[in-house]
Homo-oligomer: A and B are copies of this chain.
Amino acid sequence: MAKLNDNYLKLPGSYLFSTVARKVREYQEANPDKKVIKLSIGDVTQPLAPAIIESLHKAVDEMGKAETFRGYAPDLGYEFLRNTIAEKDYKAKGCNVSPDEIFVSDGAKSDSANIQEIFSIDNKIAVGDPVYPVYVDSNVMAGRTGTYDKVKETWSDVIYMPCVAENNFVPEIPKEVPDLIYLCFPNNPTGATIKKAQLQEWVDYANKVGAVIIYDAAYEAYISEADVPHSIYECEGARTCAIELRSFSKNAGFTGVRLGFTVVPKELKVDGVALHGLWARRHGTKYNGAPYIVQRAGEAVYSEAGQAQLKAQVAYYMNNAKYIYNGLKEAGYSVSGGVNAPYVWLRTPGNMTSWEFFDYLLEKANVVGTPGSGFGPSGEHYFRVNAFGSYENTVEAINRIKAL
């Protein structure tokens, strides 16, 4: 008689963005004449850059001819892409990462959900609070998080590290020693960043206690300030304690194209065993590589034309972020983020809960954002607004909020 993985049944009912979508749909159905502007789910809106489109067409043509057709990709990804990543994302920035430490994948969401698999169920995880829900949910599914407290909205076996105004939304090293530490900078959802010296403290701590840091750098392309690290490998000692996740979704608009990669340094060992070999085995057994045409598109991201076009694309979104940040500030809101990240994080006014403010904005300004409480208990009374809309919609949305 087959038996369920009943860890799945412990997951609280509905996913944050499903609830947001349902509320918007219901409002729109009841008010068909209203123009609702969504600055909620972190999906990009600008088309793929011309250099990427060109490389996709070229790769498609190759797939149509026997001489240039490509079947199964190499397990870790094509060398042309891994070499480029190692060169441009790491070597050029003074980080020591070799091409065979780079595992090309279909995106950082999959990788951030799958990476926990190579660790024992007995590891205790630490996460920022608020946090990208995938880190926690994937550990719940694996049975690593204990029991759920419906009132507190926390798991008994998870170490929560509050990220609040008092610590500039940067977690402090927790009292209880964790085994796996999830860090995400620039942060989703708060838009906060970590300085290099602060990140170095985490690296030193992880090496000291034998913890592994899972560092999500999906938003590194949005960093504008000098002392904010783009990679955890800028810190000394990170090669013995850290795995880094990267994405093409936000730096190149690949949310619908699907490409990312994970770096597992060969020196990173647990119980004396190199994690590189375990992740390679998982990759080879449970995955079959990103599409050839998509890997070629990834390569084009690093071309001269691609770099120029994407710099403009990032600037477009960051111009939105600036408009949101300044506009909300002018309107009297307490805001953070938006400088090195495409997210602005605001404190709800008058002690409204995150969902009360969601309903208020939807009904009064027809603007949709994301309730901070959906990312964890310390997100309560906060609210995320993203910069991925069109400039026109962003301006209109903020002006409506200012007019309230």
Which positions in A face B, CB cutoff 8 Å? 1-6, 8-9, 11, 15, 41, 43-48, 50, 53, 56-57, 60-61, 63-66, 69-73, 106-107, 109-110, 113-114, 117-123, 133-134, 137-138, 141, 179-180, 209-212, 253, 255-258, 270-271, 273, 275, 278, 281-282, 284-294, 390
Q: Which residue of B is nearest A281, CB measured?
A: B8
Q: Which residue of B is nearest A286, CB measured?
A: B113
From B45, B56, B71, B286, contact of A138 by CB (8 A) = B286
**Contacts A109-B288, A282-B141 given: A5-B66 contact, CB under 8 Å?**
no
A113 cross-chain contacts in B, Cβ below 8 A:
285-287
Given contact pairs A3-B123, A9-B273, A258-B288, a sample of 13 additional A-B residue pairs in the complex whose CB atoms are under 8 Å apart: A3-B120, A3-B179, A41-B72, A46-B66, A56-B63, A56-B293, A63-B257, A109-B286, A110-B288, A134-B285, A138-B285, A141-B282, A256-B291
A6 cross-chain contacts in B, Cβ below 8 A:
120, 271
A119 cross-chain contacts in B, Cβ below 8 A:
2-5
From B8, B72, B107, B138, contact of A256 by CB (8 A) = B72
In the complex, what distance in Å separates the CA atom of A366 from the CA atom of B293? 32
Contact between A285 and B137 (Cβ–Cβ < 8 Å)?
A: yes
**Contacts A3-B271, A48-B63, A119-B2 given: A110-B8 contact, CB under 8 Å?**
no
A278 cross-chain contacts in B, Cβ below 8 A:
4-5, 8
Contact between B286 and A114 (Cβ–Cβ < 8 Å)?
A: yes
Q: Which residue of B is nearest A277, CB measured?
A: B8
In the complex, what distance in Å separates the CA atom of A270 from the CA atom of B289? 32
Number of copies: 2
Contact between A48 and B72 (Cβ–Cβ < 8 Å)?
A: no
**Contacts A3-B120, A3-B271, A119-B3 given: A110-B286 contact, CB under 8 Å?**
yes
Can you identify 28 A-B contacts, CB atoms within 8 angstroms? Answer: A1-B179, A1-B210, A1-B211, A2-B119, A2-B123, A2-B211, A4-B120, A4-B271, A4-B278, A5-B121, A6-B120, A6-B271, A8-B281, A15-B284, A15-B285, A44-B71, A46-B66, A48-B63, A57-B60, A71-B253, A72-B255, A107-B288, A113-B286, A117-B141, A141-B286, A255-B288, A256-B292, A258-B289
What is the minimal beta-carbon distance from A88 to any residue of chain B, in angstroms? 23
In the complex, what distance in Å separates the CA atom of A54 from the CA atom of B211? 50
A15 cross-chain contacts in B, Cβ below 8 A:
284-285
Contact between B287 and A109 (Cβ–Cβ < 8 Å)?
A: yes
A63 cross-chain contacts in B, Cβ below 8 A:
47-48, 53, 56, 256-257
Q: Which residue of B is nearest A294, CB measured?
A: B291
What is the minimal beta-carbon distance from A287 to any residue of chain B, in angstroms? 6
A48 cross-chain contacts in B, Cβ below 8 A:
63-64, 69
Please give me the 6 A-B residue pairs with the lowest Cβ-Cβ distance, nearest first.
A113-B286, A1-B210, A43-B71, A3-B120, A53-B64, A71-B255
A109 cross-chain contacts in B, Cβ below 8 A:
286-288
From B2, B11, B45, B118, contact of A180 by CB (8 A) = B2
What is the minimal beta-carbon distance from A404 to any residue of chain B, in angstroms? 29
A73 cross-chain contacts in B, Cβ below 8 A:
256
What is the minimal beta-carbon distance from A177 to any residue of chain B, in angstroms? 8
Contact between A293 and B257 (Cβ–Cβ < 8 Å)?
A: yes
What is the minimal beta-carbon distance from A295 to any residue of chain B, in angstroms? 9
A285 cross-chain contacts in B, Cβ below 8 A:
15, 113, 133-134, 137-138, 141
